Amino acid sequence: MKLMPYVFPKMRRFGFSLLRHISSLPSTSRTCCLHRRVFTGSYTSTITGHGFQQHRRNMSSSALRQHIQDLSGAEQRLLDKLYEGLIGGQRASLAESITLVETQHPRKKELAQVLLQRVLAYRREQESRNGGKPVAFRVGLSGPPGAGKSSFIEVVGKMLTGRGHKVSVLAVDPSSCTTGGSLMGDKTRMTELSRDMDAFIRPSPASGTLGGVTRTTNEAVVLCEGAGYDIVLVETVGVGQSEFAVADMVDMFVLLIPPAGGDELQGIKRGIIERADLVVVTKADGDLMGPARRIQAEYTSALKLLRRQSKSWNPEVVRASSHTNEGIPEVWAMLESYRDAMLASGELQGRRRAQQKVWMWSLIQDNALAHFQNHPSVRGALPQLEQRVTRGEISPGLAADLLLKAFTSSSPK
């Protein structure tokens, strides 16, 4: 399975200097101090050795006591209210919790991590009762504009809630470059599903990120699972690099394509097709049935030429219509077959473990880059170097090397 790159090549050069610099700062000036205490002692179940496990449990208890000391009374009451409401299945508490993890306010970001740690502990307890298997099924859906993603999700969502499932939809909208708000408004387009009490739809603006698939999307998935939603659907903006991100946070990646004219195989990146566990040709009804069959045959041939991602599953191409509901039950049956096969082989659990590692390094990359950009020496040299690069006096590579040198030379050894 292909994973996102851990770090940019240039960042490897100053990684150790950056860590040394951060660790040398006085405790009062370090940011995210609450984060460090939150993660201390986490995931004890993955560590072998009884003595070491007991030591980590003691550290975890100490860390928990420190959390309580650091939180004000109002903050503690807020987190207790959100946690109790969330695990109780209250949609309002889930919405407020996702808002908390989406915030850019430094202190609220720390509070969000405390809440997430409690939800993670609750989810681990649920999975332990479930024989170590995940209690929720995560599905990523993407496709080019006009593929009918929202219509497909609404029809599938209504079918699943009718069968007793709880469905959450994390729909990432393109953002306006002017206002930063969502342009498409998926919640208004899924009118029936949005009124369903067993469904939760969270439209979020991409806010300039590629596909909008960021750390907050991954954390929103965790919150939805903690709230008791056993099916989590993540819809991305369109076909592009963002699909590689969503594929690294879900159990199954589904590519939706319309029966359009033209050279369809050139219209979608090969890498996206390689990541797809299932391809669904939408709008397969009426006059479009003929083109849908042709597109299905083309993609079926294309998939045979690609390397398999899994030993337990062969990607397939199917047709479905959100208008007539034809093929919709069969599509979901294939998703269930995929889940059962991957669980039986242990690949699904292994994929989730690998994904956690990917997202950890992704966050390290983001935070390290932010620290680098805000470093006084870098900020001082950056404007002049940018001007020299734009005038063609020096190459971008040399400018990057000079900035890295300014960062490492001024960092404590």
The per-residue pLDDT for range 312-338, each reduced to its tens digit, is 899 999 999 999 999 999 999 999 999
* DSSP secondary structure letter of residue 308: P
Q: Which residues of 129-165 are buried (b: 16+ CB within 10 A; e: fewer)?
A: eeeeebebbbbbbbbbeebbbbbbbbbbbbbbbeeeb
Q: How many domains does the chain have?
A: 3
Q: Are residues 223 and 298 in the same domain?
A: yes
- Please report whether residue 229 resides in a domain: yes
Q: Are residues 396 and 280 in the same domain?
A: no
- Please report whether residue 36 resides in a domain: no
Segment 54-111, tens digit of pLDDT: 444 454 445 545 555 578 888 899 999 999 999 999 999 999 999 999 888 888 888 9
- Please report whether residue 20 resides in a domain: no
Q: Are residues 200 and 231 in the same domain?
A: yes
- Please report whether residue 313 resides in a domain: yes
Q: Do residues 189 and 201 touch, judged by C-beta distance below 8 A?
A: no
Q: Are residues 170 and 268 in the same domain?
A: yes
- Please report whether residue 153 resides in a domain: yes
Per-residue pLDDT of the chain (413 residues; tens, 9 = 90+): 444 443 444 444 444 444 444 444 444 344 343 333 333 333 333 334 444 444 444 544 455 455 555 788 888 999 999 999 999 999 999 999 999 998 888 888 889 989 999 999 999 999 999 888 899 999 999 888 788 888 999 999 999 999 999 999 998 765 544 444 444 445 566 888 989 999 999 987 655 454 445 668 889 999 999 999 999 999 886 655 556 677 788 999 999 988 875 455 455 666 677 788 999 999 999 889 998 999 899 888 888 887 778 888 999 999 999 999 999 999 999 999 999 999 999 999 999 989 888 888 887 887 888 889 889 999 999 999 999 999 999 999 999 999 999 898 876 65
- Please report whether residue 234 resides in a domain: yes
Handedness of CA 224, 91, 176, 107 (dihedral sign): negative
- Measuring CA to CA, which residue among 40, 227, 232 is closest to residue 126? 227
pTM recorded for the entire structure: 0.76
- Please report whether residue 111 resides in a domain: yes
Strand pairing of 137-142 and 231-235?
A: parallel
- Expressed as residue numbers, the domain containing 221 is 134-345
